[in-house]
Structure 1
Amino acid sequence: MDGHQVQQPRLRDQVRAVIRVNRYSIRTEKSYWYWIRYFIRYHGMKHPRDMGPQEVNGFLTWLAVQRNVAAATQAQALNALVFLYAKVLDKPLGEIGQVVRSKKPKRLPVVLSHEEAMRIINRLEAPYRLLASLMYGSGLRVTEACRLRVKDLDFNQQVITVRDGKGAKDRTTLLPGPLTTELESYVDGIRRSWKGKDPALRKPCSLPFALSRKYPKAGSSIAWQWLFPSQALSVDDLGNTVRHHIHVSSVQKAVKRAVEDAEIGKPAGCHTFRHTFATELLKRGNDIRTVQDLLGHADLRTTQIYTHVLGQGFAGVRSPLG
């Protein structure tokens, strides 16, 4: 072998580079790499370029038959492998043949009553109480709530802009009226700390990968400050010391403890607030298409599951018992 031959970047680095050029979210990056690595291990560490449709078919079928994964999980694995072959290896899969589809039943989501949701929220301390209030009041996913920046709140229009939500899409949702005063005061506190050159804000906040290259000073501006910053500093992809947003796992742990303390008798978590947001809006007579837009669902069928939670999927039919 020629000692001067240029070595190919590791597959992990190739995947990361293509994902970031395409502006996929960090969560998608982690998810795709998880499935790509799983696929490689399943086939005895063979490199994907030495495999193809037959091996992809075998892996997806094994997930459904042996691992009994949900249909959405199997689809996510397929998406990751389609991406790998088409975008990274430049070797599109084409027809992969008949795959055994996962038949794991989709369970109805757990939802809370308004009173149960408030019982949990009122057991949380700052900043978790405000985060949970936004998950319930605006229908945010926990990652979306954690990633909010000062510029994402529009108090005049009473809307919150969710940047790079699931599927790397932006959307707007409700800024809850009862939270307006508290949020305005909260943002004013961040502004005062920023103007006063608070040591906690001395380091810039982390920015999306492409933006940090194009506008390196944006991380020090008030507009880009995180609403819920992490206490610890971290290092970004360019080697700069930055402040990231609060870690999702810390919010999940706090909510889990509050659910236990509230003794509501349901297996609830952060995502339950989002489910409850949707069911409460439908219960109050809001149009399902509007709810779909607020949640950022690409497919109306995803939103329609909440009508089954409410028992509204039967075209107004009532039981003969009354």
Structure 2
Amino acid sequence: MTESTSIPKEKKLLEQYSDALRLKQYSPRTEKTYILWTRSYILFHNKRHPKEMGTLEIRQFITHLVTEKKVSASTQNQALSAILFLYRHVLHVQLDELELNAIRPQRAKSLPVVLSKEEARAVILKMSGVPQLVTQIMYGGGLRIMEVMRLRVKDIDFANRQIIVRDGKGENDRFTILPDSLIEPLKIHLQQVRHTHEIDLSKGFGSVYLPFALERKYPNADKEWIWQYVFPATSLFKDKKSGITRRHHLHETVIQKSIKEAAHLAKIDKRVTPHTFRHSFATHLLQNGYDIRTIQELLGHKDVKTTMIYTHVLQRGGLAVKSPLDS
């Protein structure tokens, strides 16, 4: 008798989708969001297989999001990107690019909210602890909130007074400023983080999430100090996929709530969010005379046109024309 060989079952579509996202080293957050949009797209069309559908069905889904769900242009773009990833990298189906460009919405241009230097300091002074330190890094180096949350110990270069931002928006690495005034507070903070990490290790934990490729390349790196998050969560969690108990990074809502409360206490009559400090960083550098190309590199913008918006923020009302009432 010959021993029967079992043929491995083909993975379900969303499992293949998840694998493709990980292979491209998308973040767990993006993976979760993209899967939700793809599932919504399939459910909207009564569980039809995406291979049976195309640009017409994608247009119908995006139209539904606009007319029924009233979602913003950025959310529409996110949903469309998730669906296109499915067709391009999982189903390997070529769609009509002209049709897709017609579907993709254009975001309305708006000037960012910027704090004055005095307002930025006033908000930060109303904060304390980790939220204050995170906000100082965003304002001092122009980082996005998730770029700060995902910082690893190895990304802080005290010797050269710089922060290395890994896999920023657009999946690019860049260097930005580590303010001199934050060196000692950050060193003290990391001493406390290391103490917590050593306690975790003594209890058999101490693992941290690593991108898919790195987990295979460096199998023991997840417990090394240099790979730990600079701003870890206050509690451990069990990863549902791997079953490993880990300490993830701090959740961004902690910082968002703290900034909102501090802005209220500082009596700032503007909508202040974490991103406001990145906008303020760029604007204040321009005010200090730094050139637009340098600021572009620090912010990680691919196109200088994106950075140019801060030149408009600098201009007074009416493109810096003096009002006749003031003459």
Q: TM-score range by the shorter chain?
A: 0.7 to 0.9
Give, in whole Å, the separation in 2 of the partners of 1:26 and 1:313. Answer: 42
Task: Among all aligned residue pairs of Structure 1 and Structure 2, give the percentage whose two residues are the same amino acid.
Answer: 44
Give the structure 1 partner of residue 277 of structure 2: 273
Q: Would the aligned equivalents of 1:70 and 1:105 in 2 still touch at CA under 8 Å? A: no
How many residue pairs were aligned?
A: 318
Give, in whole Å, the separation in 1 of the partners of 2:87 and 2:208. Answer: 35
The 1:317/1:245 distance shift into structure 2, 3 A limit, reads closer
Secondary structure in structure 2 of the residue aligned to 1:230: coil
Per-residue deviation, residues 222-267 of structure 1 (Å, max 9, x unmatched): 2112211111112334322111111112221222222222220111
- Residue 168 (structure 1) aligned to one of 149, 159, 171: 171
The one-letter code of the counterpart of 2:278 is R
The one-letter code of the counterpart of 1:88 is V
- Residue 147 (structure 1) aligned to one of 147, 150, 163: 150
Give, in whole Å, the separation in 1 of the partners of 2:79 and 2:313. Answer: 28
Give, in whole Å, the separation in 2 of the partners of 1:147 and 1:101. Answer: 29
Give the structure 1 partner of residue 243 of structure 2: 239
The one-letter code of the counterpart of 1:46 is R
Over aligned residue pairs, what C-alpha RMSD do you find? 2.8
Give, in whole Å, the separation in 1 of the partners of 2:122 and 2:103. Answer: 44
The 1:317/1:249 distance shift into structure 2, 3 A limit, reads closer
The one-letter code of the counterpart of 1:215 is Y
* 2:315 equivalent to 1:311: yes
CA apart distance, 1:181:
2.0
- Structure 1: gaps spanning 5 or more residues: none
CA apart distance, 1:26:
2.4
- Structure 2: gaps spanning 5 or more residues: 1-5
The alignment's TM-score, normalised by the length of structure 2, stands at: 0.86
The 1:265/1:216 distance shift into structure 2, 3 A limit, reads same
The 1:201/1:246 distance shift into structure 2, 3 A limit, reads farther
Give, in whole Å, the separation in 1 of the partners of 2:146 and 2:294. Answer: 22
- Residue 207 (structure 1) aligned to one of 198, 201, 210: 210
Q: Would the aligned equivalents of 1:64 and 1:100 in 2 still touch at CA under 8 Å? A: no
CA apart distance, 1:97:
2.6
Q: Would the aligned equivalents of 1:112 and 1:272 in 2 still touch at CA under 8 Å? A: yes
The one-letter code of the counterpart of 1:242 is R
Give the structure 1 partner of residue 19 of structure 2: 17
Give the structure 1 partner of residue 32 of structure 2: 30
The one-letter code of the counterpart of 2:130 is P
Per-residue deviation, residues 159-203 of structure 1 (Å, max 9, x unmatched): 100112112221111001211222223334444665688758952
* 2:272 equivalent to 1:263: no
Q: Would the aligned equivalents of 2:27 and 2:211 in 1 still touch at CA under 8 Å? A: no
* 2:77 equivalent to 1:86: no
The one-letter code of the counterpart of 2:252 is V
* 2:42 equivalent to 1:60: no
Give the structure 2 partner of residue 123 of structure 1: 126
- Residue 222 (structure 1) aligned to one of 211, 221, 225: 225
The 1:102/1:18 distance shift into structure 2, 3 A limit, reads closer
The one-letter code of the counterpart of 1:75 is N
The 1:194/1:29 distance shift into structure 2, 3 A limit, reads closer
Secondary structure in structure 1 of the residue aligned to 2:227: coil
CA apart distance, 1:293:
1.0
Give, in whole Å, the separation in 2 of the partners of 1:133 and 1:200. Answer: 33
Range moving further from structure 2, 95-104 or 291-300: 95-104
* 2:288 equivalent to 1:284: yes
Displacement over 6 Å in runs of 4+: 195-198
Give, in whole Å, the separation in 2 of the partners of 1:291 and 1:200. Answer: 45
Give the structure 2 partner of residue 249 of structure 1: 253
Give, in whole Å, the separation in 2 of the partners of 1:32 and 1:234. Answer: 23
The 1:200/1:298 distance shift into structure 2, 3 A limit, reads farther
Give, in whole Å, the separation in 1 of the partners of 2:44 and 2:295. Answer: 40
Q: Would the aligned equivalents of 1:39 and 1:59 in 2 still touch at CA under 8 Å? A: yes
Give, in whole Å, the separation in 2 of the partners of 1:297 and 1:90. Answer: 30
